[in-house]
Amino acid sequence: MRIVIVGGRGVGASIAEYFSKRGDDVVVVEGDEEVCDRLAKSLDVTVYCGDAKSEKLLRDAGAEEADVLFAVSGDDSLNIWVASVAKRELGVPTVVVKVDERESAERARSAGADVVVCSEELVFERLIEAVTSPAYTFLLKREGFAVVAVKVLPDSGLIGTSVSELRERGLNVVAVFRGAGLTEFEDLVLEADDEMIVAGSEEKISELLKEVFE
């Protein structure tokens, strides 16, 4: 997934670290140059340093291609503005907003936020669980090649897809697990809760993972 995070301090840095270690494409937008420098040096993320209250900066940061955008700065008004632009102008599928004041929560929802978390009840896991599940884990990413373990979620776009179709799309299905263990998969049609190990180019793997959540 492509993750864009507005706000690189505290919880924003923790979210960036989590997704970057998982193997996702992570971009952080932060206004403090010192924080930007620290993130760029310590994490495998792309950092855009500047005022996030700029639609141009969000576009430059690739927010239009984001699967998920987290607005988690320390400024409720900024987070709500970012949510509105991300949802209504940039078409981001999932927008998660952190607010410090409970009164801001309804404003954030009205702005288009899909998930709103108040800092009074904030725990890191709640923000992560808002957009993820144990759906996939990168086992290897190297020089444009990737190997990933994928779980077929209920209502996933992968349900009904055959292993042979995946192979025709340039993906190498190494193994499929159904129920208690490994299953024969030459002519298998995928069902909910099937788990696969798949190899291929990062581009092809990225296309596959998008289907997991469709």
Quote the pLDDT of residue 134: 57
Quote the pLDDT of residue 117: 82
Position 206, amino acid:
S
Tens digit of pLDDT at every position of the chain (214 positions): 899 999 999 889 999 998 898 888 999 999 999 999 999 999 999 999 999 999 999 999 999 999 899 999 999 999 999 999 999 999 998 899 999 887 898 899 999 998 888 765 555 656 666 666 557 777 777 788 888 888 888 878 889 999 999 999 999 998 889 887 777 777 899 998 888 899 999 889 888 887 776 6
CA pair distance 98, 114, nearest whole angstrom: 11
* Predicted TM-score of the model (pTM): 0.65
Quote the pLDDT of residue 180: 72
Quote the pLDDT of residue 157: 84
User: Could you give the C-alpha distances from 142 to 69, 79, 212, in angstroms and in order?
Assistant: 26, 35, 22
Position 11, amino acid:
V
The CATH classification number of 136-212 equals: 3.30.70.1450
Quote the pLDDT of residue 130: 63
What residues form DSSP beta bridges with 19?
A: none
Please list the residue range(s) of the chain that carry CATH number 3.30.70.1450: 136-212
Please say whether the beta carbons of 5 and 12 come within 8 A: yes
Which of 24, 98, 30, 105 shows the shortest CA–CA distance to 61? Answer: 30
Q: What are phi and psi of 211, to 5 degrees?
A: -70, -25
Buried b (16+ CB within 10 A) or exposed e, 130-154: bbbeebbebeeeeeeebbbbbbbbe
How is residue 82 written in tokens?
Answer: 């970012």
Please list the residue range(s) of the chain that carry CATH number 3.40.50.720: 2-129
CATH topology of domain 2-129: Rossmann fold (3.40.50)
Quote the pLDDT of residue 129: 61
Burial of 184 from C-beta contacts in 10 A (0-12 / 13-18 / 19+): exposed
Quote the pLDDT of residue 57: 96
